[in-house]
Amino acid sequence: MAILHVLTGSYATRDEKGIKLWQFDTDAGELKEIAGVSGIERPSFLTVHPSLEMAVSGSEDFNGELVSYNFNLDSEMIKEYSRSSGNGDHPAYVTIDQSGKWLLSVNYSGGNVNVFGLKEDGAIGEMADSVQHEGTGPNEERQDAAHPHSVIQVPGKELFAVSDLGTDTIYFYRLDMQNGKLELDHAFDAEPGSGPRHLAFHPEWPLFYSLGELDSTMTVFSLEQERGIRQIQRVSLLPTAFEGENTAAEVAVSQDGKFLYASNRGHDSIVSFEIDEGGKLHSPEFTSSGGAGPRHFSVVPGGGWLIAANEKSDSLTVLKLEDGRPIELRQEIKTVSPVCVKFIERTI
C-alpha cells in the first residue's frame, strides 16, 4: 500500500478549517482527513514548496493575504507560520518557483502579478516586484478589466506564463533569480472572448494546452525556440448536444503525456482526451465529476486516480482511472467548498 498526502484549499470562512491535510490510499482509492487549520478567509489556491515541508495559500478576498504553513507528515500536523499582504484583491493563484526562493501570485480583481521572497525558514518576505496588467475583452460582464488568473512556471526555465482572463492575453515573464524582478519576455493574444484561465505543459514536447474558461475550449500551442508560439489546434470541452451554461476550470496532462483532462462547471464533468504523437487532442470522453462545480482537480502521482474539488456540492470525489480514462466514482467526502487539490509527493 502506498500512502500519499494531499492538501486542499477552499472557500471556507475564517472560522472554518479551510485548509486540510489528507492521506490518500492508492490501493483502495480512499481519502482520510488527518488535520486542518482555520484563521484565513477563502484560502483557495495552494502551492507546495520543493522541500515538501511548507506551503502557501492565497486568501481570495478583498485586500487578500498570502499565508505560509508548515506541515509535518509524520506527526500529521499543519500550522500557520507567516502572513503577508497580497498587494491586491482576490489572490487567485500562487506558485513557488522550482528553486524555492520566490513566491509568485496573481490578483484576479487587482489585475497584477507579484513576486515575494521566501526566507529559508519558510516565512514570506518582502515584495520584490509587481506588474500591473491593463485592458478589457469583448465579454462586458467578465472582461471589464484585466483579470490574471494563473501564474505557472515553464518546466526547467525561469519563465512564468500568466493567463489573463480579462484581456484574452497570455504573458510570459522572465524572473531574475537574484533580485526577483519580472521582465516581459513575450505575450500573445488568445481567441477574443475565450477568457484564458489555466494552462498545462506537455511533459516531453514543447507544447502547452490553454483552457478558455468563458467559451469552454482547449487550445494547443507549440512553444518552439526558433518559431515562437504557434496555435496548432482548438477544440470544445463540451459534448455537441450540450445547451446549458458552462465555464471550464482546470486542465492537466497525465505524467506519461498520453491524456489531457479538463473540468466543466455546468456540465459538471471531467472531459478526457487522448494526445496523439503531434500533441493534438482527439477522442473526447465525458465523465461526471461526482458533484457540482468541479473548480479544480489533480491526477494522483503515478496515475490510477483523479481527485476533484466540487465547490458547489461541498465535496471531494475520487474517480478511478482505467487506461487513462475516468470510469467510476470510488469515493465522495463532504467538506466545505473545496476549490484546490495539491499532492505532496512523498510516499511512506
User: For 240-259, what is the mean pLDDT?
Assistant: 97
pLDDT greater at residue 46 or residue 224: 46
Cell numbers 467526502 correspond to 333
The percent helix, strand, coil of the chain (3-state, each to 5) is 0, 60, 40
| Distance separating alpha carbons of residues 9 and 44, to the nearest angstrom | 5
Q: Where are the alpha helices (DSSP H) in 123-275?
A: none
DSSP 13-75: -TTS--EEEEEEETTTTEEEEEEEE--SSSEEEEEE-TTSSEEEEEE-STT-EEEEEEEETTT
pLDDT band at 345 (very low <50, low <70, confident <90, very high): confident
Cα angle 80-114-208, degrees, rounded to a multiple of 5: 100
User: For 177-203, what is the mean pLDDT?
Assistant: 97
Task: Let me know how long the chain is.
Answer: 348
Q: Read off the pTM.
A: 0.97
Burial class (CB in 10 A: 0-12, 13-18, 19+), 97: buried
Single-letter amino acid code for the residue at 329: L
| Statement: residue 346 has pLDDT above 80 | no
Grid cell listed for 339: 476549490
Q: For position 228, what pLDDT does the model report?
A: 80
Single-letter amino acid code for the residue at 13: T
pLDDT band at 192 (very low <50, low <70, confident <90, very high): very high
pLDDT for 3-19, tens place per residue?
Answer: 999 999 999 999 999 99
DSSP 88-138: SS-EEEEEE-TTSSEEEEEETTTTEEEEEEE-TTS-EEEEEEEEE-----S
How far is CA 135 from its chain centroid? 23
| Distance separating alpha carbons of residues 71 and 76, to the nearest angstrom | 7
Cα angle 101-104-109, degrees, rounded to a multiple of 5: 165
Q: Under a CB-based contact definition with an 8 Å cutoff, are residues 308 and 316 in contact?
A: yes
Q: Under a CB-based contact definition with an 8 Å cutoff, are residues 194 and 165 in contact?
A: no
| Statement: residue 1 has pLDDT above 80 | no
Q: For position 348, what pLDDT does the model report?
A: 45
User: For 280-295, what is the mean pLDDT?
Assistant: 98
DSSP strand pairing (247-253 vs 338-344): unpaired
CA-to-CA separations, 299 to 211, 241, 249, 251, 261, in angstroms, rounded: 17, 27, 15, 10, 9
Mean pLDDT of the chain: 96
| Distance separating alpha carbons of residues 201 and 96, to the nearest angstrom | 17
Burial class (CB in 10 A: 0-12, 13-18, 19+), 83: middle
**DSSP 8-state code for residue 205:** S
| Distance separating alpha carbons of residues 111 and 269, to the nearest angstrom | 29
pLDDT for 256-287, tens place per residue?
Answer: 999 999 999 999 999 999 999 999 999 999 99
Q: Under a CB-based contact definition with an 8 Å cutoff, are residues 235 and 284 in contact?
A: yes
